[in-house]
Every structure is written in C-alpha cells, then in structure tokens.
C-alpha cells in the first residue's frame, strides 16, 4: 500500500487540516500518517484558539516516520510561524524526499491574512524549494506574485512568478475569481493547462483547500504524473463539494467519502 504524510494543524471540527487530509488519503486508498503542527479550538463558525506544537516535537514526528516507513508523498498545510517553517524544512532536508505538495495557507477565503509577511517570506525561502507542487488560492497567489489577479492571463503570470521563486510546479486555484465556472491554472514550467468546473452554490465548503491539495498528494503517491494527479484531484473535490455535509451552524465540511458511501448504499 502507498503511504502519504500530512504535516499540518488539527481541526477539532473535523472538516479541514489533519482530519481532512487523513480522510482524503484514505478515500484514495493511500495509508495516512500525520505530523501535527498545531491544535486548534474551532467549529464550523470560527477558530477560537490555536496552540502550536513545540518545534522539536514536530521535527521528531517527521523524522521518526521516515526512519521506519516508506513514504510516497508529503502534504504540508498551514504552518503559522517561522520557527515551525524552519523546523519542517530542516527535517525534510535530512531524508530522501518523495513528491511534496505545499498548500500555502496564508490568506483565508474571505481575504483575511493568516500569515504575517516575515513568515510568508520564510515559507518561500525554506519550503518552496522542497515543494514539487504549490497550490495557492487567488488571494495567496496575489500576495506571492505581488500583483492583482482578475483574469486567467494574470493567473498564468502569477504561476510563472511562483516558479521563479523556487516552486517545482504550480496550481493557481480560481475558486475566488467569481463567475459561473471555477477555473484552475496548472503550470509545470513548460506547459499551461486549465481545469474548469461549474461553480457549486453551497455554504458547506470548509476544508476544500486542504482536501484538494491532499488529493493531489494522494494521486502523486499512487504514481500519477502532475497533470493527471491534479485533474483527478479536481474531480474528487468537485464531488466532495457536491455531496457536502450540512453539519453545524456555519460552513459545513465536504464529504470525503461520498463515492464510498454511494457504492455502499449509504446516505
């Protein structure tokens, strides 16, 4: 069985972070392991508190897993401080790395900045060179590229800029661009491709970014090439949103096991 490691924070509501990553890996038939960077106090409405793990604990989680078990892909999610960014980079530089997918969780769906500028700079400096694939949303791509994004050509410009800053390949997610369709731009350094899906009207989109990047990592672990991995991940997240769960009083989670539930005859 293929194995994937997620390095991210825990979401107590179960819709995003480590919990979403683990569900996504397992839904793809990939065994899931985790290195937890932080514990959050949150529900579907808001985040009330965050407790970061000590750097040596995060480093130890990563190191001990690589010492023991073959790992076929790594996904890195939200890391909120320079010391954790440096710790993760240090741990990964000491092992033979499989494909790494970095979801640069810097700016929320509403445009709220989650990562300060100095931590953003550290993310680019330390983790971009280790990442085979970087998956920013529109707001994050704007911050990283340093220019506004209002159309597909500007998304392509941002993708080029991110490769110049050290990323191996880039997926600029177009979900926040508006319109009847959501278009993502894929760039491997040579070729651009676009993936389009009809925009789904639902409030239950908690954890979509985590789930999408984890689906890319899972498909890379299964041996898919970049374009195939992202295409399959796009199909998966679209289905997960289409069958999203109306849980809680805020933004409910996507349905990570919608396909398995359908085949089992479960609601």
Which residues does the annotation mark as catalytic? 173, 205, 207-210
CA separation for the pair 192, 230 (Å, rounded): 13
Cα distance from N-terminal residue to C-terminal residue, the chain: 28
How many angstroms separate the Cα of 18 from the Cα of each of 21, 35, 176, 225, 266?
A: 5, 8, 23, 24, 25
CA separation for the pair 99, 192 (Å, rounded): 20
Choose among 202, 132, 182: nearest CA to 162: 132
Number of H helices, E strands in the chain: 9, 9
Sheet holding 181-187, edge to edge: 47-52, 31-42, 3-10, 73-76, 100-102, 133-134, 169-172, 181-187, 192-198
Find out whether 186 and 194 touch, Cβ atoms under 8 Å.
yes
- Which residues lie across from 34 on neighbouring strands? 6
265 Cβ contact partners less than 8 Å away, ≥ 6 residues apart: none
Backbone torsions φ then ψ of 126, nearest 5 degrees: -100, -35
Backbone torsions φ then ψ of 247, nearest 5 degrees: -110, 140
């Amino acid at each position: 069985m293929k194995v994937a490691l997620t390095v991210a924070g825990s979401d107590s509501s179960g819709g995003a972070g480590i919990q979403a990553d683990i569900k996504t890996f397992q839904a793809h038939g990939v065994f899931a392991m985790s290195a937890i960077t932080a514990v959050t106090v949150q529900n579907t409405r808001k985040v009330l508190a965050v407790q970061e793990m000590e750097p040596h604990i995060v480093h130890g989680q990563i190191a001990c897993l690589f010492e023991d078990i073959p790992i076929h892909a790594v996904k890195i999610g939200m890391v909120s401080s320079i010391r954790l960014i440096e710790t993760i980079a240090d741990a990964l530089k000491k092992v033979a790395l499989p494909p790494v997918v970095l979801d640069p969780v810097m700016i929320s769906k509403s445009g709220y900045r989650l990562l300060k500028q100095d931590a953003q700079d550290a993310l680019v400096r330390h983790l971009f060179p280790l990442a085979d694939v970087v998956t920013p949303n529109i707001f994050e791509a704007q911050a990283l590229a340093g220019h506004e994004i209002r159309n597909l050509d500007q998304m392509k410009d941002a993708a080029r800029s991110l490769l110049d800053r050290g990323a191996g390949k880039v997926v600029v997610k177009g979900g926040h661009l508006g319109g009847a369709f959501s278009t993502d731009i894929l760039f491997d350094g040579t070729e651009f491709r676009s993936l389009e899906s009809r925009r789904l009207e639902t409030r239950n989109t908690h954890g979509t970014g985590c789930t999408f990047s984890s689906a890319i990592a899972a498909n890379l672990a299964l041996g898919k090439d970049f374009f195939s991995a992202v295409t399959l991940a796009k199909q998966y997240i679209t289905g997960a949103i289409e069958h999203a769960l109306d849980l809680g009083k805020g933004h409910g989670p996507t349905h990570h096991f919608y396909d398995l539930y359908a085949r089992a005859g479960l609601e």
